[in-house]
C-alpha cells in the first residue's frame, strides 16, 4: 500500500517541487496552501506523513503540529525551515516532528532520504508492536520468563548477544521457552524490522525439510507445480530460528553447514546460487555432543551453531517464577473462555510449588487451562489433576483420590453428562471414567 503524504506550504513553487519529487517516487501526495487548509485535510483524510513549512501567515507549522496531533496522534511530521532558523526546527521536533528539512533544499535526494527514513522507522515500529502483541497471545511476557535468580544469567547473556550477529544455540528441556528466547534476541537486535522465521525441524521429512529451508524450483519433484521460496530467503535480512535442530537428517546437515559457512545455496531442483544475509538461532532438547559420538550429528555443524550457547533451566529450577506463571496463564484462559478467576487456594498453591513439572512451561500452561475450565472462580487442588508419583494424594490416573469423586461429578455436570468429553477434560480414558462412576456409584 502506498504511503499518503500531505504537503502544507504557502510557497506554491516549493509545494510543486516537493510534490513532483514524491509523486515520481510512488507516494500518493496531496497539497494545502496554508495551515488551516492543511488541518481541514488532516481531519478528513487518512495520511501517513505531513510535510509542513514552519512559517506560514495564518498558522505556524508548530501550531499545525499541535492541532494535528490532537486529531491524529499517530501522524508523522517533517518540518521545513529556512537555513538560519534551525533552532525553530528543534522546537518543532520537541512538540512531535520526526525530522526537518532546510530550504533551499540541497537536492531532491535530501528530501527522498529524510522522507524514506521517517516512514521506514515508523513502519518498523508498527511491526515490532504487532509482533509484541502477537507474542503476548502465545507466550508469557519476557519479564516473567526472566523472573527469578535462576534466569538472571540467561537474561544477561541475551542482552549481551542480541546486538551482535553471532549464531546462538539455545539448549534445554522441552517446554522451557527456547523459542521465546530466540524471539526476544531478534527483537533486541538490529534485525528487528526484518522477519523472524521459524522452522520446526522435527516435524518434516528429509525431502520436505530441504524444500522448506531452501525452497524449490518448478518441477523439482512430484507436486512442485510452481517455484517456492524457502525459509532462508524469507528470513533474508532477519533471523531464522531452527527449532529442534538435533532432529535434522545427516544429509541435510551437510547442506545446512554450507549455507551457514557461505551464506548461499541453490533451491531444490535448481542451479542458481542465491545469497542471503540471515542470522541463525537454533534450539534443541538433545545433548548434541552425545549425538556426535553416536554419529547422528556432524561435529563441524555443531561448532558452527554453538558459537554462543544458552542453556535454559527446567521450570523446577525456577521456583520463583512458577506461581506467577500459573497466575498469568489462569488470567489469560479465564479471559479467553469468559470464565472468572479469583486466585488459587492455599492447597493449590502448595501443589503447584511442589510439583516437578516434567513438561515445564508447556505442561503448566495445559494444566492451568484445564483447571480454569473446571473451576468456577477459585482454583483448588482438585482442579489441577496433578500426578505425584508415590504420593498418597495421587492416583495412577492422575486424579487426586481425596477429591476425585467431587471432581468427576462436577465435570459430568458441566458437560451435561457427556462421558467422553468429561474423560477428555479429566485426562483419563473413557474406560477408567466408567470404572470410577461405577466404583463411586455416581448417578
Residue ranges per structural domain of the chain: 4-124, 139-313, 316-439
Give 99-106's long-range contacts (Cβ < 8 A, gap of 24+).
101/51, 103/14, 105/17
Q: What is the helix, strand, coil percentage profile of the chain, to 5?
A: 50, 15, 35
Neighbouring residues of 269: CB distance < 8 A, sequence distance ≥ 6: 216, 217, 218, 219, 220, 221, 224
Euclidean distance between CA atoms 408 and 395, whole angstroms:
14
Backbone angles phi, psi at 166, to 5 degrees: -65, 145
pTM of the model: 0.58
Can you give the pLDDT at residue 413? 83
CATH superfamily entry for domain 4-124: Response regulator (3.40.50.2300)
Can you give the pLDDT at residue 394? 38
Pairing of strands 228-229, 215-216: antiparallel
Cell 455416581 sits on residue: 442
Neighbouring residues of 134: CB distance < 8 A, sequence distance ≥ 6: none
* Secondary structure, 3-state, 312-376: CCCHHHCHHHHHHHHHHHHHHHHHHCCCCCCEECHHHHHHHHHCCCCCHHHHHHHHHHHHHHHCC
Can you give the pLDDT at residue 276? 92
Can you give the pLDDT at residue 408? 83
- CATH class assigned to 316-439: mainly alpha
Q: Write out pLDDT tens, residues 208-217.
A: 888 889 988 8
Q: Write out pLDDT tens, residues 126-184.
A: 665 555 455 445 567 777 778 888 898 999 999 999 999 999 999 999 989 899 899 99
Q: Is domain 139-313 annotated with CATH 1.20.1090.10?
A: no
Same fold for the pair 139-313 and 316-439? no
Q: Which positions of the chain have pLDDT values less than 70?
A: 1, 83-86, 124-139, 223, 388-404, 427
Alpha carbon 339 to chain centroid distance?
26
Sign (positive/negative) of CA torsion 73, 78, 82, 84? positive
Can you give the pLDDT at residue 216? 87
Euclidean distance between CA atoms 82 and 89, whole angstroms:
9
Identify whether the C-beta of residue 201 lies closer than 8 Å to the C-beta of residue 243: yes
Identify whether the C-beta of residue 187 lies closer than 8 Å to the C-beta of residue 128: yes
Write the CA distances from 105 to 56, 83, 108, integer angstroms.
Answer: 18, 9, 7
Amino acid at each position: 500500500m502506498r504511503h499518503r503524504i500531505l504537503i502544507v506550504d504557502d510557497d506554491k513553487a516549493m509545494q510543486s517541487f516537493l510534490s513532483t519529487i514524491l509523486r515520481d517516487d510512488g507516494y500518493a501526495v496531496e497539497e494545502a496552501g496554508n495551515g488551516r487548509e492543511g488541518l481541514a485535510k488532516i481531519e478528513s483524510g487518512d495520511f501517513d506523513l505531513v510535510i509542513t513549512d514552519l512559517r506560514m501567515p495564518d498558522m505556524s507549522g508548530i501550531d499545525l503540529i499541535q492541532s494535528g496531533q490532537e486529531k491524529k496522534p499517530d501522524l508523522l511530521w517533517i518540518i521545513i525551515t529556512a537555513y538560519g532558523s534551525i533552532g525553530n526546527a528543534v522546537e518543532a521536533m520537541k512538540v512531535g516532528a520526526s525530522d526537518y528539512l532546510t530550504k533551499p533544499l540541497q537536492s531532491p535526494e535530501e528530501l527522498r532520504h529524510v522522507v524514506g527514513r521517517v516512514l521506514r522507522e515508523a513502519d518498523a515500529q508498527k511491526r515490532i508492536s504487532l509482533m509484541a502483541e502477537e507474542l503476548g497471545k502465545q507466550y508469557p511476557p519476557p519479564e516473567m520468563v526472566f523472573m527469578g535468580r535462576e534466569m538472571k544469567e540467561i537474561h544477561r547473556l541475551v542482552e549481551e548477544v542480541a546486538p551482535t550477529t553471532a549464531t546462538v544455540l539455545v539448549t534445554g528441556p522441552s517446554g522451557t521457552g527456547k523459542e521465546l528466547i530466540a524471539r526476544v534476541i531478534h527483537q533486541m537486535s538490529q534485525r528487528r524490522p526484518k522477519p523472524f522465521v521459524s522452522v520446526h525441524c522435527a516435524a518434516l521429512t528429509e525431502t520436505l525439510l530441504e524444500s522448506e529451508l531452501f525452497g524449490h524450483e518448478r518441477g523439482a519433484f512430484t507436486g512442485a507445480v510452481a517455484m517456492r521460496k524457502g525459509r532462508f530467503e524469507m528470513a533474508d535480512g532477519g533471523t531464522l530460528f531452527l527449532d529442534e535442530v538435533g532432529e535434522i537428517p545427516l544429509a541435510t546437515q551437510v547442506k545446512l553447514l554450507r549455507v551457514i559457512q557461505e551464506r548461499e545455496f541453490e533451491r531444490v531442483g535448481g542451479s542458481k546460487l542465491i545469497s542471503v544475509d540471515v542470522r541463525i538461532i537454533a534450539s534443541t532438547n538433545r545433548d548434541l555432543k552425545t549425538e556426535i559420538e553416536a554419529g547422528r550429528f556432524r561435529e563441524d555443524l555443531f561448532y558452527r551453531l554453538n558459537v554462543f550457547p544458552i542453556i535454559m533451566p527446567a521450570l523446577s529450577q525456577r521456583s520463583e517464577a512458577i506461581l506467577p506463571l500459573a497466575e498469568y496463564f489462569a488470567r489469560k484462559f479465564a479471559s479467553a473462555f469468559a470464565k472468572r478467576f479469583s486466585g488459587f487456594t492455599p492447597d493449590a498453591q502448595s501443589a503447584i510449588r511442589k510439583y516437578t513439572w516434567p513438561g515445564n512451561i508447556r505442561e503448566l500452561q495445559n494444566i492451568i487451562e484445564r483447571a480454569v475450565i473446571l473451576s468456577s472462580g477459585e482454583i483448588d487442588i482438585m482442579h489441577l489433576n496433578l500426578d505425584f508419583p508415590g504420593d498418597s494424594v495421587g492416583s495412577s490416573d492422575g486424579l487426586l483420590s481425596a477429591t476425585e469423586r467431587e471432581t468427576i461429578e462436577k465435570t459430568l455436570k458441566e458437560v451435561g453428562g457427556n462421558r467422553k468429553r468429561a474423560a477428555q477434560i479429566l485426562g483419563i480414558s473413557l474406560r477408567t471414567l466408567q470404572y470410577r462412576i461405577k466404583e463411586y456409584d455416581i448417578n
